[in-house]
Chain A
Amino acid sequence: MRRPGLALCVAVAALLAVPGAAGARTITPSSNKVVSAQTAVSSCGALSGITLAWTSVAGSLSTVTLGSIPAACAGGSLSLTLTGTGDASVGSAGPVTITGTTQTLPLSGSPVVTTVTGAYLSVVGP
């Protein structure tokens, strides 16, 4: 004897499960354990006080010199990105280990100096 209730159950389950299943197809499972936690993070010092100067060779940048790096940041890992039109990256430096309050970094990209409009710095650690 056929059981219409069971058939309906299966159909509804399949329909409701489809969105979740479709979303999972793009994820590569690596764990079935979920844990959440939080911890406070803080900067090693007042990074906004860091000064930026640079050296150009025939109008293109070769190095940048950062000054007034907080002493407490020594040992941390510093990265710098220079940006141009549309905030697009035009050059970068690091990551390097901070060794003092003034540090000169070689640049990758050698951007034309007049195209640089922004600079963003991050420090991880120490």
Chain B
Amino acid sequence: VTRATAVAVVAALVLSWAGVGLAASFTLTTARLGGTGLTTPVMYPYVVTTGNATGKAVTGRIDRNDTVSVVWSRPIDQPTLCSGLSNGTPTSSATMTWIVQNNTGTTGNDVLVPGTVPGCTSGMHVGSIDLGSPGYINGSNGTFAAATTTVSVSATITSLQVTIPGAPSGGTVGTVSSGSAAVWTPDPAVTDLAGRNCGASLAQTAATVQF
């Protein structure tokens, strides 16, 4: 019996190991392999939109009461946006100048930037918005004076809205029938309460014709 058991064990091992030697082959083609987790942005430009508040029939033209809105992903450190603002104030309004620069974008599009504003020593650090077409302002820069600008800070985000006060001085408004998405490049001077800025992140509109 002892001999028979030994034969059985050997036979079993042979049968079992037959099932082990079946690994698929592979070829290592490089000795360079690396991986890592990256830090995802916390503070970034969340949304940019333009609005046709009056419901006018002609879109693609900057008119009185049209709007531009931007939203940061975090409550901002308000003095970094404007030196005259204070944290703890949920809503602030200013009457200020906005300028549509004629064809100054990297691809020749018109660009909306903040102008002078009382109470903001170094200006309103919103950044710039490439409007996606060179046709919104023609001739020269269009200056929109006395545009109501409202900043709202909630527990989770910050929004800023500009309301167009009327026709600009300088350039003349045009009507755009086709264009590209508007792109907001935020000013890196603006930070959240932890000191984080938007880095290289951008926000675009879904619409390719604004206003």
Chain A interface residues toward B at CB < 8 A: 5-6, 8-13, 15-17, 19-21, 23-24, 27-35, 39-45, 47-48, 50-59, 62, 65, 67, 76, 80, 82, 113-114, 116-126
Complex: A106 Cα to B50 Cα, angstroms: 25
Q: Mark B2-38, 1 if CB is under 8 A from A, else 0.
A: 0111011101110111111111110010111111111
B53 proximal to A (CB < 8 A): no
**Whole-angstrom CA separation of A35 from B28 in the bound complex:** 13
A-B residue pairs in contact (CB < 8 Å), sample of 10 = A17-B16, A20-B16, A28-B22, A30-B24, A42-B34, A54-B202, A55-B203, A56-B46, A58-B205, A117-B40
- For chain B, the count of residues having a C-beta within 8 Å of the partner chain is 50
State A56–B9 Cα separation when bound (angstroms): 66
CA distance A65 to B201 in the complex (A): 8
Task: Given A53-B41, A54-B41, A65-B200, verify A31-B32 contact (CB < 8 Å).
Answer: no
Residues on B with C-beta less than 8 A from A56 are 44-47, 201-204
Cα–Cα, bound, A27→B61 (Å): 68
Which residue from A17, A33, A67, A124 sits with its C-beta under 8 Å from B30?
A124
Known A13-B8, A55-B202; judge A42-B15 contact (CB<8 A).
Answer: no
- A57 CA / B182 CA spacing, docked (Å): 10
Taken together as a complex, chains A and B put the C-alpha atoms of A122 and B38 apart, in Å, by 10
Contact A118 B47 (CB under 8 A): no
Does the CB pair B200–A17 fall under 8 Å?
no
Residue pair A16, B47 in contact (C-beta under 8 Å): no
Q: Does B206 contact A (CB under 8 A)?
A: yes
Cα(A122)–Cα(B17), bound, Å: 37
B40–A118 touching, CB < 8 Å: yes
Cβ–Cβ < 8 Å partners of B4 in chain A: 5-6, 8-9, 12
